[in-house]
Amino acid sequence: MAVSMRALFENEQKVSMNDFFKNFDTMHLWASDEVMNSLNNFIDALLASDTQEILQQRYATTILEMRKDAGFNDSKLNSNDYKFISANQKR
């Protein structure tokens, strides 16, 4: 599960940009083309200030591409199966 996509990058206490860039560089070495294309689509949406819905869909797609890269090729999950929660969400 993930929280707000913008909060992930706007709150320096949660994720530093240096850590992000370091991990992004590492992914270029080890991730499949599909994972990198999906991640780049997510980053494009983030930089374009797309809607939260678009950001969440692209983030979930990236996670699912990572699952395929890890060997779960027969997974039936899709981006709608990835759940996003908010700390302020009512039960």
Looking at residue 1, its pLDDT comes to 39
**Model confidence at 8: pLDDT above 70:** no
Rounded Cα–Cα distance for residues 82 and 78 (Å): 7
C-alpha to C-alpha distance for 53 and 32, rounded to whole angstroms: 25
Nearest alpha-carbon partner for 59 in 79, 37, 33, 86: 79
Q: In angstroms, rounded to a whole number, what is the distance separating the alpha carbons of residues 82 and 42?
A: 15
| pTM, two decimal places | 0.71
φ, ψ for residue 89 (rounded to 5)?
-70, 135
